[in-house]
Amino acid sequence: MRLPLVSLFAALSLGLAPAVQAADDKPPPRVEVWSLTQTGAIGSAIFIQDRAAWRATDVLLPQLGDQTDHGLIGWIVVNQGDAQLVRFLRGGPNAPLPGYDILVDKNGRAGPAIQSKDAALPDDQIAHYLARNLAIANIGDLRCTANFNTVVLDDPDSDGWLVWLLAASKDANIVPMGGHYRFHVSADGRTLEKREQLSGGCLNMDRRQAGQDGQPAALFTTVLVAPQPLEVHVFLSLLNRLPIVIGTGDKIWAVEGARIEEIDTSKTR
């Protein structure tokens, strides 16, 4: 998984302790699930936003060069039709201001970094940024990595936000299956309504494990916190361009990008 802005915003390593796994072996509570179609759509939206953030970062970093006084405090990603507007922010954590804007098209191609001409952010974009920071400040005990990527989307079931902290690896061959979080945040970005731990523990998988022509045919994992695959599995499948096979109790599922299907195991008996 790419690590957007790690070198640019060292502080956005989230200030977390080194990667640890919670000592308590009890599985976390069950988490909210959507229909398979909606789960696929949300996982795809997570991937699109995450990709936009790191593609925009690749454009901005060379422009900043060796600057250490750039004054940037983070970023948000705003939908603009089929495109994503990545806004790098300056100012203070409670009063973010526009800094640089980069438009990333639907195919993931990033345009130039342009200094924003806006004097202020709209209220909803301020709330977006506050929701992101609130989630970061309320991560749980399960910390499978010191680095997390963040994604913020509209909550499809309320007027608030959904925020994901996605466990990240600096090794492109390692797929972090565990350690992801989902947060439900109020519309103004100031109230944490629910935190959901999306795995029972830490699990890093090597995408180079044996398969056809030295490439893995699929990755296999189990899910204890839900009766079906989650949006993070869709995201990881898209990110790594690999199918993921998932066991949930007595069911087996296949995740290939946004498509989630239950595997009929009776045919293999």
136-186, pLDDT tens digit by residue? 999 999 999 989 999 999 999 999 999 999 999 999 899 999 999 999 999
Q: What three-state secondary structure class fits 191?
A: coil
Distance CA 134, CA 129 (A): 9
- Looking at residue 265, its pLDDT comes to 77
Q: What mean pLDDT do residues 62-90 have?
A: 91
Phi, psi of 55 (to 5 degrees): -65, -40
Between 210 and 214, residue with greater pLDDT: 214
Closest CA to 181 of 61, 26, 14: 14
- Looking at residue 109, its pLDDT comes to 98
- pLDDT > 90? residue 135: yes
- pLDDT > 50? residue 59: yes
**Cβ–Cβ under 8 Å, residues 252 and 246:** yes
Q: What three-state secondary structure class fits 70?
A: coil
- pLDDT > 50? residue 5: no
- 186, 190, 192, 196: CA torsion to nearest 10: 80
Averaged pLDDT score across all residues of the chain: 89
- Looking at residue 12, its pLDDT comes to 33
- Which of 37-41, 139-143, 205-209 bottoms out in mean pLDDT, i.e. has the lowest? 205-209
| pLDDT tier, 18 (very low <50, low <70, confident <90, very high otherwise) | very low
| pLDDT tier, 212 (very low <50, low <70, confident <90, very high otherwise) | low
Q: How far from 77 is each of 88, 163, 179, 199, CA to CA, in Å? A: 9, 12, 23, 26
Neighbours of 37 (CB within 10 A): 11
| pLDDT tier, 66 (very low <50, low <70, confident <90, very high otherwise) | confident
- pLDDT > 60? residue 46: yes
Closest CA to 1 of 243, 261, 240, 201: 240
Distance CA 120, CA 159 (A): 23
| pLDDT tier, 207 (very low <50, low <70, confident <90, very high otherwise) | confident
- pLDDT > 90? residue 28: no
The β-bridge relationship of strands 181-185 and 174-176 is unpaired
Distance CA 110, CA 113 (A): 9
- pLDDT > 70? residue 203: yes
**Cβ–Cβ under 8 Å, residues 154 and 198:** no
200's tokens? 């029972």
